[in-house]
Amino acid sequence: MTELLTVAVGKADGRVTVLTVAGELDRDSVHVLETAGEEALASGVERLVLDLRAVTFCDSSGLRVFVHLHRTAAGGGSSLRLAEVHPPVSMVIEAVSLDRLLELHATVEDALD
């Protein structure tokens, strides 16, 4: 059984939004993160931080959303930062060299600085 994906707003102060993501990020659930990320960026934030510590799986659909949100953020003068990226998500990101494009941070606090 597929673990549901949840996305919760952990912090939103008008300048920065932190989305806490938990579960499996795959083709069946990726729309949840994509919608939440797009809504946060549309609100005019300067920085969108994805807290990924509780993501247990990520396939190419998840990677596509990371790139999409990165490009959307950059196009609007914002930035996307990924925090608490652990295996297996970090392994997938590194395998396709997306760590060269995306900003990865060890902690949410680092991503907020």
Half-sphere exposure of 105 (CA within 13 A, CB side): 16
The CATH class, in words, for 6-112 is: alpha beta
User: pLDDT tens digits for 88-109?
Assistant: 999 999 999 999 999 999 999 9
SS3 at position 47: strand
Q: Where are the domains of the chain?
A: 6-112
User: pLDDT tens digit string along 56-93?
Assistant: 999 999 999 999 999 999 999 999 999 999 999 999 99
Contact between 72 and 92 (Cβ < 8 Å): no
Residues contacting residue 60 through CB under 8 Å, at least 6 positions apart: none
* pLDDT above 80 for 1: no
CA distances (Å), origin 78, targets 30, 73, 82, 95, 103: 21, 5, 14, 26, 13
pTM of the model: 0.95
